[in-house]
Amino acid sequence: MVSTKSRVIRVIIGLTLIVGIWYFYRSWWALIGLIPLVVGVTGFCPACYFLNRCSIKRR
């Protein structure tokens, strides 16, 4: 699980990437912002879970 503070930051970063890249470049690369957005909304980080590289303790 990802902490609440981290979730909020990830949602903001995801939305910023999507809006910023789409506004300035009109590119499909804006979809890269979906990754932090989905992680922030769901609270599940696959990199933390599968790679065991997370500073948050598992329950």
Length of the chain: 59
Q: Tell me if 43 is assigned to some domain.
A: yes
Is 47 contained in some domain?
A: yes
Q: Please tell me the predicted confidence (pLDDT) of residue 41.
A: 93
Domains of the chain: total: 1
Range of the domain at 36: 4-51
Distance from C-alpha of 23 to C-alpha of 18, rounded to nearest angstrom = 8
Q: Considering the domain boundaries, does residue 57 fall inside one?
A: no
**Cβ–Cβ < 8 Å for 38, 13:** no
Residue 59 in domain: no
Domain contains 26: yes
List the structure tokens of 2.
Answer: 């990802």
Q: What is the pLDDT of residue 59?
A: 52
What's the pLDDT tens digit per position in 2-57? 788 988 999 999 999 999 999 999 999 999 999 999 999 998 888 777 887 766 55
Residue 50, pLDDT score: 81
Q: Compute φ and ψ for 44, nearest 5 degrees.
A: -110, 125
- Residue 3's pLDDT is 81
Alpha-carbon gap, residue 30 to 1, rounded angstroms: 26
Question: What's the whole-model pTM score?
Answer: 0.78
